[in-house]
């Protein structure tokens, strides 16, 4: 009887250990690589990322409508309202909840936010300008160039290390961008080809600036908070955009006011709303997943935009576009197979339960020592 009890007890113990091992394996699988995409947090992140992808695609469609239908392309004026909305919403919230941080920003951090806001404003300027020179499908695909640039900046600035799949992924993205530019060179007329190439180059430069802005944002958010970042980027972005708009776009704004067309103003307002969603949803996705997972999901914006171009605009797509997109898709998936590692030594998290356990053990030893001394006496 005792023997059977011992066997059953041992069996239960083995089953318990097996269950623990299974759970550990599951946790490991669902926290790394492609398996991680099927865990609950990643599924929530995927839903948010697809909403964000649709929003980004929507901004491209609105810019195309303004540029092609109404012949309006005022990049700074088109983005200033977004920064203004960010500052109106997040500055009061920041001052109420993080009042002590305001003094630090005024004395120390203001130049960092100014620099990142300036880079962000110019990135938006160039990408909106590109919509008047090349088509929306080309812009959305070339914009994937942000991935390799972010990788390079992360290596040198954030001190992250990368594996072979990351390097091959970068090469895939670069090859894809090259094929798309080559397709634009084969445009029907020389003038159209020149305009398209100019648009492609502006798009590539904006990708570099967006990568710089994103890396800078990551640093600033980790140093402070998302609320502080959005409040400051909104404030400095509004100021920079206002000065730039008054210097370079006065005539165009005057003509726009004379134009006084309700559909145009509606598109301006809708674009600002979409941009505001981009700035506020993106941090939520990164919190629940990773930058690599985000980039992989945002590729679907190219698909949504392509559907719009084919269905509503009758874009004529060269076969090289598909090869280029295929290279970018393959490169991005390859890059996302594993997360980059941090070369900086990270401090181990403090395990409070372990500290309490060790403290109890020390107290027990002290008690035993005291009892032993009393016994000796």
Give the SS3 label for residue 131: coil
Whether the Cβ atoms of residue 145 and residue 173 lie closer than 8 Å to each other: yes
Pick from 30, 46, 40, 96: nearest CA to 284 = 46
Q: What is the pLDDT of residue 171?
A: 85
Compute mean pLDDT per 10 residues along the chain, 377 residues long, and list them: 53 57 50 52 77 90 87 90 94 86 79 95 93 78 77 82 82 81 65 72 90 84 85 95 93 81 88 93 74 68 74 75 81 74 58 54 57 50
Cα–Cα distance, 57 to 277 (Å, whole number): 12
Name the burial class of residue 5, with classes exposed (0-12), middle (13-18) and buried (19+) by CB atoms within 10 angstroms of its CB.
exposed
Q: Which two tokens stand for residue 19?
A: 């269950």
Q: Compute the residue count for the chain.
A: 377
The backbone torsions φ and ψ at residue 306, rounded to the nearest 5 degrees and listed phi first, read: -60, -40
Q: What is the pLDDT of residue 298?
A: 75
Dihedral sign (CA 311, 312, 314, 315)? negative
Query: What is the CB neighbour count within 10 angstroms for residue 155?
Result: 15
Strand blocks (E) in the chain: 160-161, 341-342
Q: What is the pLDDT of residue 16?
A: 61
């Amino acid at each position: 009887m005792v023997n059977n009890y011992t066997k059953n007890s041992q069996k239960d113990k083995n089953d318990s250990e097996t269950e623990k091992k299974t759970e550990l394996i599951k946790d490991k699988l669902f926290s790394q690589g492609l398996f991680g995409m099927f865990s609950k947090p990643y599924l929530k992140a995927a839903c948010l990322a697809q909403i964000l992808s649709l929003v980004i695609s929507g901004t491209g469609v609105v810019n195309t409508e303004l540029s092609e239908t109404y012949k309006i392309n005022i990049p700074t004026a088109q983005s200033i309202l977004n920064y203004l909305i960010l500052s109106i919403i997040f500055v009061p919230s920041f001052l109420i909840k993080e009042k002590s941080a305001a003094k630090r920003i005024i004395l120390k951090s203001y130049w960092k936010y100014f620099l990142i806001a300036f880079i962000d404003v110019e990135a938006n300027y160039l990408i909106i300008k590109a919509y008047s020179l090349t088509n929306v499908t080309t812009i959305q695909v070339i914009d994937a160039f942000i991935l390799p640039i972010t990788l390079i900046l992360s290596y040198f600035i954030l001190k992250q290390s990368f594996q072979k799949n990351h390097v091959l992924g970068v090469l895939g993205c670069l090859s894809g961008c090259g094929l798309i530019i080559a397709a634009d060179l084969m445009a029907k007329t020389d003038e159209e080809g020149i305009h398209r190439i100019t648009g492609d180059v502006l798009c590539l430069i904006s990708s570099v600036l967006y990568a710089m802005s994103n890396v800078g944002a990551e640093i600033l958010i980790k140093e402070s908070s998302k609320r502080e970042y959005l409040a400051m980027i909104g404030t400095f972005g509004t100021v920079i955009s206002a000065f730039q708009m008054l210097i370079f776009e006065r005539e165009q704004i005057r003509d726009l006011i004379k134009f006084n067309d309700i559909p145009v103003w509606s598109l301006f307002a809708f674009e600002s709303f979409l941009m505001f969603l981009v700035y506020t949803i993106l941090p939520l996705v990164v919190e629940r997943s990773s930058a690599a997972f985000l980039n992989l999901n945002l590729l679907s914006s190219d698909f949504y935009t392509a559907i719009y171009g084919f269905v509503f605009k009758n874009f004529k797509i060269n076969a090289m576009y598909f090869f280029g997109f295929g290279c970018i898709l393959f490169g991005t998936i390859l890059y996302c197979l594993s997360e980059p590692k941090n070369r900086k030594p990270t401090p181990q998290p403090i395990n409070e339960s372990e500290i309490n356990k060790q403290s109890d053990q020390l107290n027990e030893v002290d008690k035993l020592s005291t009892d032993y001394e009393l016994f000796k006496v």
